[in-house]
Structure 1
Amino acid sequence: MKIFLGYPSEHESTAWEVYSFLKSAGDDVWFDKVSLIAGTDWDKEREQGQREADLVVHLCSEAILNRAGVVNREINQTLRLVEDQPLGSLYVIPIRLEPIKMPIELTRFQYFDFEDGWQERLSESVEKRRAQLSGEVPETGKLPQIIEEKALPGLQKVEFEDITDAYECRGEYLRYNEEGLYWSLVNGALAAESLKGFYDARHDFRTHFDDDGNPDEDGLKHEWSVSAEEIFRAGDLVSARFYHYIGFARAAHPNHYITTLNFFGVNFGTASIQQLLGHSVEDAHKVLTYCEKVIIAEFEGELEMDAFFEGYKETEEEVWKLLGQFNFDRQGMTFNFSPYDVLPYVFGSHAIHVPWRFIEPMLSEGYKAIVEDLT
């Protein structure tokens, strides 16, 4: 099996460690320190190595968030290549080297941290990919089940799956180790956000069976997944993000989108953007214009445009929908704009950070006090 290993230059020593582990299994690993020959066009060789790989491993750190360069070029190419893989393929393994918030585009893929036991986690994923390439079929006929409960600081991550001949559904949800009515709300909402999509997807996939209840005769599979991530927590304030992925067999390309849940303590429970901004459409337009300017600036030199959301904010309902998926932390709010939601698919996903100093004057009075405590 051919494996491509990408990494930030600051973590070369870790990359050598991962490379040595992968090589020990006898696989052909593309690693620039070994695979590049003096005098060759290194960028062309890197692209070819990535295109020919059966599996891609990316080491992720703060560098992929704050610096342009080869490592981001590699990740962007991986995101393009993965769309050509058969549904259900385990093609990308992100390994988080530092406690960073993973980029939206990578949260679709289950990552793990480089800590004790990383070799076992990596080996499991590599062997699963090897089984896929050899044509082995996973065991079928099981009921949906919880497959693992991982202990995290102050909470658990519960993983579940249902794999059949017709589809593969995998997901996870967060569960806080807290008691009381408020935390029942938090845990119930977090579980429901993942599990509702799970049961909806399984139902939708079954509607594509033939009249006899059989899946696609060519063996093509539908795929659904959701990953859950805690973005921020301070006491009883919680902000969480979910990355949803759904791919129908024979569809031109899969659909992926972001949803969020935000909890503002025992006095407020959950809160929508309408509640935070006091249902002021005028203020919502101000926030949306801020986000629009940032997105347009990101495309500077690539596209000529004066408005990004043109045609998507003609009614109040559309404006609130555009701003509906957000997270918060001590610095401000991050608005998540997904393809196939209200944006043109070609522009991909965008996460735009808006500082509290801009938003705070627009907040309803009760929420201003919370932000003052946060900042």
Structure 2
Amino acid sequence: MTDTPLIFLSYTTADRPRVAPWYDFLKRQGFNAWMDKEQLIGGQQWDYEIRRALNSAALIVIFISNHSVNRRGYVQREIRLALTKLEEKLASDIYIVPVLLDTDAARPELLSDLQFLDATDEGFGDHLILSIQHQLTAAENRTEITIDESGIGWSKSVIAEEHIGVPGYSFTAQVPHLFSTEYKNLGDCADIIKGWIKEGLSEYRSGLLSQGQYWSFGQSRFRRTHTWDAACSDPIVHGQTVSLRYSIYWYGAGAAHGNSGFKTFSFFIEPFFHIRSLESIFDNKTNALVEIQSCLLQELSRIKWSSSEEEEQPLLDPNDIQAGIKDWEALKNFVFTSAGIEFAFGSYQVGSYVTGVHFATVPYNRIAAFLHQDYQEALNASYLDFNAPHFEDQATSSSDIDE
């Protein structure tokens, strides 16, 4: 988490037992919190290490109590150092978040102009996260914070890198940051996805070793630049799962055209873990695959060319569809929605380039009987009548067609 903004926790030693739980809380939410008791090890120069952490912090949370205001020491010095750094910030930024551990504690004069949080308030955890996210939004150029009815909140930051060369590359990807006061470890989502993004970026950097073989500065910059752009959807929360879908555009330097595709991530919320494959959620994998393939073939075959002819023709060839959904690996891009499992298919997967990208949903009643019991519950599918007729009109499909 070296590239994650640092949050410095400042407190007096006597308050360590009261501050430590909030350090653990922030770590569970995926924040890069720093607390001297946890970070300092034997042999380190503690004064130097604390100052270095303060200097690199994106935000400082200062815990104030009757102990700290009545003592001279590091809390007072940390406040002064923080105020010095505060002069570098915009007025709208929150660089220092003062927190009252004791409601009757005197507020330090140095912090009198700042809004204090009260650690004894029932909603303190929520308020602390919102304050931190506000600052990190500015620090990492994130989008605004969104919180849905499930209580899960999120924002997005951007990883971008460009190199002008022969070939060059232009790499951009959004990173979702999830948080919740109720569910633990949602912050791991960003770390898992960052691993995928950084691996892709590493591949583009390695291409610099191929400079000049097939490209030259005589070409336009676009023609000699590998391009990769990954835009992340808002999280889709259904039952005990949360899913994200990336829409990816990439262009290989010198190619006739770019391509569009998808990458999805689905997670079990509590305990929080990455659902690495769709196959893993089923007990009866063989029957589940057959049923999913049958439903997808049916739905994708319904897509028609948009034309003025009286009788519209199918857009996709059944043979192309079957080749594009032939196994579990072909079905790796999925998200869990309230309607069912929605699959995404990129350029060329189930049709020619001109037909575009496609989506199709398999309703839960089609595959609920094959699910592992935990996933029947997690996907709100345990109540379904497995013997009921298939409600085919629940499955939906759509396509984007390049003009």
**Match of residue 240 from structure 1:** 244
Residue number among 195, 203, 211 corresponding to 1:192 in the alignment? 195
Q: How many residue pairs end up in the alignment?
A: 224
Residue number among 302, 308, 314 corresponding to 2:313 in the alignment? 302
CA gap 1:319/1:235 in 2 versus in 1, 3 angstroms: closer
Distance 1:178 1:282 in 2: 37
Cα offset, 1:176, TM superposition: 1.4
**Match of residue 296 from structure 2:** 291
Distance 2:163 2:356 in 1: 30
Pair 1:349 & 2:357 matched = yes
**Match of residue 386 from structure 2:** none
Pair 1:320 & 2:328 matched = yes
Residue number among 346, 362, 380 corresponding to 1:372 in the alignment? 380
Where does structure 1 lack aligned partners over 5 or more consecutive residues?
1-145
CA contact (8 A) 2:238 2:379 kept: no
**Match of residue 209 from structure 1:** 211
CA gap 1:332/1:303 in 2 versus in 1, 3 angstroms: closer
CA gap 1:268/1:276 in 2 versus in 1, 3 angstroms: farther
CA contact (8 A) 1:245 1:256 kept: yes
Where does structure 2 lack aligned partners over 5 or more consecutive residues?
1-138, 147-152, 306-311, 384-403
Cα offset, 1:307, TM superposition: 4.2
Residue deviations 1:201-241 (CA, integer Å, cap 9, x gap): 3333x244227x99643243321111111241258631100
What's the secondary structure of 1:309's corresponding residue?
Answer: helix
Cα offset, 1:291, TM superposition: 0.9
Distance 2:234 2:199 in 1: 19
**Match of residue 84 from structure 1:** none
Say which is worse superposed, 361-370 or 271-280, in terms of deviation.
271-280
Distance 2:216 2:175 in 1: 28
CA contact (8 A) 1:337 1:343 kept: no
Pair 1:163 & 2:165 matched = no
Distance 1:373 1:356 in 2: 6
Say which is worse superposed, 341-350 or 293-302, in terms of deviation.
341-350
Distance 2:382 2:218 in 1: 56
What's the secondary structure of 1:330's corresponding residue?
Answer: coil
Pair 1:281 & 2:274 matched = no
CA contact (8 A) 1:263 1:270 kept: yes
**Match of residue 132 from structure 1:** none
What's the secondary structure of 1:151's corresponding residue?
Answer: coil
Residue number among 321, 336, 341 corresponding to 1:333 in the alignment? 341
Pair 1:263 & 2:262 matched = no
| CA RMSD, 1 decimal | 3.0
What's the secondary structure of 1:187's corresponding residue?
Answer: helix
CA gap 1:150/1:349 in 2 versus in 1, 3 angstroms: same
CA contact (8 A) 2:246 2:262 kept: yes
Residue deviations 1:77-119 (CA, integer Å, cap 9, x gap): xxxxxxxxxxxxxxxxxxxxxxxxxxxxxxxxxxxxxxxxxxx
Distance 1:235 1:285 in 2: 25
**Which structure has the bigger radius of gyration?**
2
Distance 1:194 1:237 in 2: 22
Cα offset, 1:192, TM superposition: 2.4
Cα offset, 1:195, TM superposition: 3.1
CA contact (8 A) 1:231 1:327 kept: no
Distance 1:330 1:201 in 2: 37
Query: Residue 228 of structure 1 aligns to which amino acid in structure 2?
Result: C
**Match of residue 41 from structure 2:** none
What's the secondary structure of 2:273's corresponding residue?
Answer: coil
| Mapping of residues 1-375 of structure 1, within 5 Å | 148-153=141-146, 154-165=153-164, 166-178=168-180, 182-204=185-207, 206-210=208-212, 216-221=217-222, 222=225, 223-233=227-237, 237-267=241-271, 269-271=273-275, 272-278=277-283, 280-299=285-304, 301-303=312-314, 305-312=317-324, 318-341=326-349, 343-372=351-380
CA gap 1:215/1:151 in 2 versus in 1, 3 angstroms: farther
Distance 2:144 2:358 in 1: 30
CA gap 1:373/1:293 in 2 versus in 1, 3 angstroms: closer
